[in-house]
């Protein structure tokens, strides 16, 4: 199966999932809100499911990252995606387009000790979603390490347009 054909299949699968999520999540959100209001559930979730299609996009992107599946990740990247590092009052654009990010991720995935990420502590406002990303990895000496950083995603349709990363904290 050619790479181009596989990308097309991923794109179709992804668009079908997003379409289904846009139909299902509003109903699921009403159900969850009812359970929260009735006291049957707590007020927060680490799954991101109650946030709808925007959260689902971030979950899918993170899963593709954890799977080291750059083809799936590319489908979810806006052509003009920006990765922005926030430190104090300064912002630095680390990546300013899809081609650059794909090149950087391809290089990163070649490292033997690449991290995996988990998501928790969701918040959102329209097409902006905040989440705490917890990165875990094993050092060459076999030591388990992890750190967490707050990220704010800007979603444009069914793609990630911008991501602001705040300083990571060791866990």
For residue range 106-164, list pLDDT tens digits in order: 999 998 777 899 999 999 999 999 999 999 999 888 899 999 999 999 999 999 999 99
Q: How far apart are alpha carbons 151 and 131 in whole angstroms?
A: 6
Concatenate the DSSP letters of all residues of 64-120 into one string: HHHTT-HHHHHHTEEEEEEEEEEETTEEEEEE-SHHHHHHHHHHHHTSTT--EEEEE
Nearest Cα to Cα of residue 155 among 134, 124, 121: 124
Average pLDDT over residues 59-79: 96
Distance CA 124, CA 100 (A): 27
Average pLDDT in the 35-54 region? 50
pLDDT category at 11 given cuts 50, 70, 90 is low
Q: Tell the CATH topology of 3-170.
A: Nuclear Transport Factor 2; Chain: A, (3.10.450)
pLDDT higher than 50, residue 34: no
Residue 119 contacts by C-beta under 8 Å, 6 or more apart in sequence? 46, 48, 58, 59, 62, 131, 132, 133, 134
d(CA 152, CA 132): 9
DSSP letter at 50 equals G
Q: Where are the domains of the chain?
A: 3-170
């Amino acid at each position: 199966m050619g790479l181009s054909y596989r990308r097309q299949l991923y794109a179709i699968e992804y668009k079908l999932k997003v379409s289904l999520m846009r139909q299902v999540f509003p109903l699921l959100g009403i159900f969850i809100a009812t359970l929260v209001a009735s006291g049957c559930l707590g007020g927060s979730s680490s799954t991101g499911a109650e946030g709808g299609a925007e959260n689902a996009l971030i979950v899918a992107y993170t899963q593709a990252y954890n799977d080291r599946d750059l083809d799936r990740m590319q489908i979810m990247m806006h052509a003009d995606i920006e990765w922005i590092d926030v430190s104090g009052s300064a912002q630095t654009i680390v990546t300013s387009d899809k081609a650059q990010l794909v090149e950087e991720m391809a290089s990163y995935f070649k490292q033997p000790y690449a991290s995996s990420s988990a998501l928790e502590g969701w918040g959102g406002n329209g097409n902006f979603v905040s989440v705490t990303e917890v990165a875990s990895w094993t050092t060459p000496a076999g030591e388990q390490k992890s750190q967490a950083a707050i990220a704010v995603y800007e979603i444009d349709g069914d793609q990630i347009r911008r991501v602001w990363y705040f300083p990571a904290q060791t866990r």
